Structure 1
Amino acid sequence: MLRTVAARGVRVPLRATRSFSTTRAARFIEEDVSADRLAQLLVDSKTSGKPLLVDFFADWCQPCKMLSPVLHRLVNTPSLVGGKEVDLVTIDVDKNMEAAAQFQVRAMPTVLAFRDGKLATSFVGVLPEPKLKEFFASL
């Protein structure tokens, strides 16, 4: 069906539009979690079936500021990493020293990947995006 719009005396046909909606796959990003909250998220990850990335960072850490936006983009855009659904939590080591000590974080950024509640793999420092995509694919 065509509709027309009158603009200054000129009638221009417009196609009827249909609206539709789609649901995005549920991804989870939680910023600056505590050690207790992380423990709960690890328990929850046993049933979610999705890997859980834990990004340990510090506000003063320049490499952390480079890595964090890339991690967020990859988690929010699964098509960039082969459709892999991954959840992400971040932990500020200056505010949550207990969590950093629990996982023996010695340098920032440190990224730990958990699968079914268990540590699967990790890396320290900034990786280039192609290496990050490989990291995601390995989860």
Structure 2
Amino acid sequence: MLEHLTKETFKEKVFNFETNKDWKYEGTKPCLIDFYADWCGPCKMVAPVLEELQKEYGDNIVIYKVNTEDQQELAGMFGVQSIPSLLFVPKEGQPQMAMGALPKATFEKAIADVLKVEKPVVN
């Protein structure tokens, strides 16, 4: 089960926007944040893919979810206008946003290219 972030847990685990003006990632592992809403059809299509990715990548990445209905301030901060919007947050460097229900292969490529995490080989 993926962890849902509130404004408070977002500040602890991702970025404390109240104390930092410049981007400073608070986490220890690269993460992916899914900005979604319960009523959104494409969001429902992405949800099982994200669950699968979390299982496959295990402890190498963290996948969070932000409900844009409950957390409008967070969604606004990142300029989320369409959902799903997915924020790829590497340990070093700037986060990158992707829009729309992406196919699994596209997630895997972005995880490799942006987050610099390769999929673990399972024997």
TM-score (normalizing by structure 2): 0.75
1:135 corresponding residue in structure 2:
110
User: Structure 1, unaligned stretches of length 5 or more?
Assistant: 1-27
In the alignment, structure 1 residue 38 sits paired with structure 2 residue 10: yes
> Partner letter of residue 66 of structure 1?
M
Alpha carbons of 1:54 and 1:117: their partners in 2 closer, same or farther (altered >3 Å)? Answer: farther
Residue correspondences, number: 106
Q: Which structure's residues are more often strand, by fraction? A: 1
Rounded to whole Å, the distance in 1 between the matches of 2:27 and 2:85 is 25
In structure 2, the CA distance between the partners of 1:52 and 1:86, relative to structure 1 (3 Å rule), is same
Counting aligned pairs with the same residue, the percent is 28
SS of residue paired to 1:55: strand
Quickly say closer, same or farther: Cα 1:41–1:130, change in 2 above 3 A: same
Match of 1:56 in 2: 35
Answer yes or no: is the 8 Å Cα contact 1:57–1:108 preserved in 2: yes
**5+ long unaligned stretches in structure 2:** 17-24, 116-123
Question: What are the within-5 Å matches in structure 2 for residues 1-139 of structure 1?
Answer: 29-31=2-4, 33-43=5-15, 46=26, 48=28, 50-78=29-57, 85-116=60-91, 119-138=94-113, 139=115
Q: Distance in 2 between matches of 1:76 and 1:100?
A: 26
The CA RMSD measured in Å over matched residues stands at 2.4
Larger radius of gyration: 1
**Residue identity matched to 2:33:** V
| CA distance, structure 1, for counterparts of residue 27 and residue 102 of structure 2 | 29
Closer, same or farther: CA 56–118 of 1 in aligned 2, 3 Å = farther
